[in-house]
Chain A
Amino acid sequence: MEFLDSLILGFSTAATPTNLLFCLIGALLGTLIGVLPGIGPTATLAILLPITFFLPPLAALIMLAGIFYGAQYGGSTTAILVNLPGEASSVVTALDGYQMAKQGRAGAALAIAALGSFFAGTVSTIGLAVAGPTLASFALDFGPAEYFSLTVFGLLCATILASGSVIKAIGMIGIGLLLGWVGTDVNSGSERLTFGAVELFDGIEFVVIAVGLFGIAEIITNLESPETRGLIATKITRLWPTREDFRKAWPAVLRGTGLGTFLGILPGGGATLSAFSAYTLEKKVSRRPQEFGRGAIQGVAGPEAANNAGAQSSFIPLLTLGIPSNAVMAMLLGAMTIHGITPGPSVMHNQPDLFWGLIASMWIGNLMLLVINLPLIGLWVKLLTVPYRLLYPAILLFCCVGVYSVSNRAFDVALAVGFGFLGYLFRKAKCEPGPLLLGFVLGPLLETNLRRAMLISQGSPTVFIERPISLVLLLASLALFILLLVPAIRKTREDAFVEEEA
Chain B
Amino acid sequence: MTSRSKIGRTGNHPDLLAGLIFIVVGALGLWGGRDLRMGSAAMMGPGYLPLIVSGLIVLIGLGVTIMGLLRSNEPLEVVRLRPLLIILLAIAGFAYAAGSLGFIIAVAWLIGVGSLADPETRLREVAASIVVLTIFGILVFILGLGVQMQLGPF
- A residues sitting closer than 8 Å to B (CB atoms) are 51, 54, 165, 167-168, 170-171, 174-175, 177-178, 181, 185, 187-188, 190, 192-195, 216, 219-220, 223-224, 387-390, 392-394, 396-397, 399-401, 404-405, 408, 410-411, 413-414, 416-417, 420-422, 424-431, 446-447, 450-451, 454-455, 457-459, 461, 501
A178–B58 Cα gap in the complex (Å)?
12
Q: Is the CB–CB distance between B110 and A396 below 8 Å?
A: yes
**Min CB distance, A49 to chain B, in Å?**
13
Q: Is the CB–CB distance between A190 and B125 below 8 Å?
A: no
A77–B127 Cα gap in the complex (Å)?
31
**Min CB distance, B20 to chain A, in Å?**
8
A446–B67 Cα gap in the complex (Å)?
30
Closest to A187 in B: B46
The contact of B91 among A170, A171, A192, A400, by CB within 8 Å, is A400
Q: Is the CB–CB distance between A414 and B141 below 8 Å?
A: no
Q: Is the CB–CB distance between B18 and A188 below 8 Å?
A: no
- B residues sitting closer than 8 Å to A (CB atoms) are 1, 14-15, 17-18, 21-22, 25-26, 29, 32-33, 36-37, 40-47, 49-50, 53-54, 56-57, 60-61, 63-64, 67, 76-80, 83-84, 87-88, 90-92, 94-96, 98-99, 106-107, 110-111, 114-115, 117-118, 120-121, 125, 129, 133, 137, 141, 145-149
B106: which A residues are within 8 A, CB to CB? Answer: 400
Q: Is the CB–CB distance between A54 and B41 below 8 Å?
A: no
A422–B21 Cα gap in the complex (Å)?
9
Contact (A400, B57) CB under 8 Å given A54-B146, A167-B63, A428-B77: no
Q: Is the CB–CB distance between A216 and B44 below 8 Å?
A: no
B41: which A residues are within 8 A, CB to CB? Answer: 454, 459, 461
Q: Is the CB–CB distance between A393 and B37 below 8 Å?
A: no
Q: Is the CB–CB distance between A181 and B137 below 8 Å?
A: no
**Min CB distance, A237 to chain B, in Å?**
33
Which of B37, B41, B137 has the most A CB atoms < 10 Å from its CB?
B41
**Min CB distance, A174 to chain B, in Å?**
4
Which of A170, A219, A220 has the most B CB atoms < 10 Å from its CB?
A220
Q: Is the CB–CB distance between A447 and B17 below 8 Å?
A: no
A178–B88 Cα gap in the complex (Å)?
24
Main secondary structure of the interface of A (DSSP, over half): helix
Closest to B90 in A: A396
**Min CB distance, B23 to chain A, in Å?**
10
Closest to A185 in B: B46
Q: Is the CB–CB distance between B91 and A413 below 8 Å?
A: yes
9 A-B residue pairings within 8 Å (CB atoms): A165-B64, A167-B60, A171-B22, A190-B36, A192-B46, A404-B95, A408-B149, A411-B95, A459-B40
Q: Is the CB–CB distance between A224 and B115 below 8 Å?
A: no
Q: Is the CB–CB distance between A192 and B137 below 8 Å?
A: no
A224–B79 Cα gap in the complex (Å)?
7
The contact of B94 among A190, A394, A400, by CB within 8 Å, is A400
**Min CB distance, B111 to chain A, in Å?**
5
Q: Is the CB–CB distance between A396 and B91 below 8 Å?
A: yes
Contact (A454, B115) CB under 8 Å given A178-B29, A405-B147: no
A411–B96 Cα gap in the complex (Å)?
9
Contact (A168, B25) CB under 8 Å given A224-B80, A455-B43: no
Q: Is the CB–CB distance between A393 and B133 below 8 Å?
A: yes
A400–B108 Cα gap in the complex (Å)?
13
Q: Is the CB–CB distance between A396 and B99 below 8 Å?
A: no
Extra A-B contacts (6), CB below 8 Å, given A396-B110, A404-B95, A429-B14: A165-B15, A174-B53, A192-B50, A410-B96, A428-B17, A454-B44
